[in-house]
Amino acid sequence: MSANRINLCKVIEFPVVADYRGNLTFIEENRHVPFEIKRVYYLYDVPTGATRGGHAHIELEQVIIALSGSFEVIIDDCYTRKRIFLNRPHYGLYISPGIWRELVNFSSNSVALVLASMPYDEKDYIRDYETFKKMVRERFWDESDRRVAEKISKIKNKALQITKKEGQL
């Protein structure tokens, strides 16, 4: 699976309860995201031109959501690099373990919400791209990829395929 691992990353559409008083979106673990949510954090007040992320994870799974404003997420599996534009609070980008990610081009007043499958653990981070490439070449995530593919196929909400190299919603 090494050469197409990027395809494990999916844009997920969350339910929207439309109401004249304002819309409501909800997210349930193992139903709308393919993991138990162990940590939630958000990025805000990101200065113009700043890049966030710049790492991969050994085991952690994430869903990134643009709660407000917009930004791009660059995902990279060492074979393919894609840019995903997020600007709607009812869409989230699922990122599997072993995918390099960078968040760029934040609009003014944007808020990026991140749902994570594990509590913070610095040992789970790969912050050096050369180390990441070496782990990919050694097929470090092959077994993990099979489990992730099975979990994704079981989520009950609509997972949208990212079909273009420069995907955009």
| 55 catalytically annotated | yes
Per the residue annotation, which of 32, 55, 57, 90 is the catalytic one? 55
Q: Helix, strand, coil: what percent of the chain each, to 5?
A: 20, 35, 45
Chain-centroid distance, C-alpha 67: 14
Where are the extended beta strands (E) located within the chain?
Answer: 10-13, 16-17, 24-25, 39-44, 52-57, 62-68, 71-76, 81-86, 91-95, 100-104, 111-116, 125-126, 159-160
Distance of alpha carbon 36 from alpha carbon 50, whole angstroms: 30
Q: Which residues are catalytic?
A: 55
